[in-house]
Structure 1
């Protein structure tokens, strides 16, 4: 491992806890501002300060990683696409928790689930975080909008569940440009995550049945 890689590894370890805490604080501060808009202004300002501070941690981490990488801007963006998107799109910042958890588990070489179980577990966690953040963002934009069908946070959660699972009943839909833009992103993520879970489950079933067939004595098959 060269000196640059060692510096990056040390920085990764140093930033694991701050990034995890920042992800949680960002989601908590944003949720309070959306779900409790009638709080005293001082508390709303405090929540705004918390979310901005959390975002600043992401920006600093991104800038340091860029400096330590030694790559040009375009190459760095291509090789750290998720990190770039997390910095630019507030909706995805809570997903940093999933990435950090996986990195910690991999580095410490702790007992982990099988590949298929990990895909399903991390996909479920991603869906939960993305669905909650998406529901908050859409509810913030849709409530009070002319002709809106998403009037409560419960409506927004129901809509997010419909969208991420690609069911799409159409009983509640966003009407604002920002709301529809978020909807497109959730649709794309829902399709990708559903495909990952379905593919992993199918692969696990095939592997399980193959092992069972290999254990059977020759000629001991149905219809033989």
Structure 2
């Protein structure tokens, strides 16, 4: 009986996620756009900044409702917070929501053609590239927001922040622009860890693809001639 209840909960949760993945993606982008306006248009009229803040609060409310519905449908109770720790983290840090673009893209491709159009290795590299671009953008916004008025800061413009984020996620780290605030350094640590993970995923996928190509070509070269 309990197993049937859990199976029904998983099925309901899967249906809910399938129906809401695209709408939630647009809500995520709206949140990111509102945050970008708050950060970059700091000299704009207050009404625009208030409107952007209202969009952010409305989007977060949608995220919270989605999380609550998924928690109820799962039937896991409090265990849902632990088993879906990434979703719980994203609820606390909504700037990471646009990263769901990766999962949404894969789901849309499967829905249209029954299976993803790209091969496994190509998908890994594509997803890593999309994730890196979104992480660079969100991190540059967060660091610029914290650093531009901080005493002794070397990141004074958004261009400085983008340059720093690009060098951090690629693990280059020139050192000409570095965060000095606690929040900025926390974002830097997270970005560097994510950069290492993404770089490892791309490198491993590319190496595996090359090995597969060489193995396939080697196998074809060893075939006996026909006739």
Q: Tell me the TM-score normalised to structure 1 length.
A: 0.91
Q: CA deviation at 1:114?
A: 0.3
The answer as to 2:112 corresponding to 1:105 is: no
1:90 equivalent among 90, 94, 101: 94
Q: Contact 1:166–1:191 at 8 Å: present in 2 too?
A: yes
Q: Determine if contact 1:91/1:133 at 8 Å carries over to the other structure.
A: yes
- Spell out, residue by residue over 1:154-211, the C-alpha distance to the aligned partner (whole angstroms, 9 max, x if none): 1100100011000011010000010000000001100000000000000000110011
Q: Is the 8 A contact 1:23 1:97 kept in 2?
A: no
Instruction: Determine the C-alpha separation between the residues in 2 that align with 1:185 and 1:17.
Output: 27
75-84 or 194-203, larger mean C-alpha shift = 75-84
Q: Distance in 1 between matches of 2:204 and 2:22?
A: 32
Partner Cα distance (2:155, 2:148) in 1: 6
Gaps of 5+ in 2: none
CA contact (8 A) 1:86 1:96 kept: no
The structural deviation recorded for 1:218 is 6.8
TM-superposed deviation, 1:111 = 4.4
Aligned to 1:146: 151
CA contact (8 A) 2:171 2:192 kept: yes
Correspondences of 1:114-129 after superposition (within 5 Å): 114-129=119-134
Structural RMSD (CA): 1.7
1:22 is aligned, of 24, 27, 30, to 27
The 8 Å contact of residues 163 and 183 in structure 1, kept in 2 or not, is answered as yes
Shift of the alpha carbon at 1:92?
1.1
Is 2:139 aligned against 1:134? yes
Cα distance in 1 for partners of 2:28, 2:100 equals 7
Question: Distance in 2 between the 1:107 and 1:81 partners?
Answer: 27
The separation in 2 between residues aligned to 1:203 and 1:111, in whole angstroms, is 19
Q: CA deviation at 1:110?
A: 4.7
Aligned to 2:8: 3
Q: Distance in 2 between matches of 1:200 and 1:137?
A: 30
Q: For the structure 1 residues 217 and 11, does the alpha-carbon distance in structure 2 shift closer, same or farther, using more than 3 Å as the test?
A: closer
Greater displacement, 51-60 / 182-191? 51-60
What TM-score do the two structures reach when normalised by structure 2? 0.90
Please say which of residues 104-113 and 16-25 is displaced more in the overlay: 104-113
Alpha-carbon offset, residue 130 of structure 1: 0.7
Please name the residue that 2:220 is paired with. 215
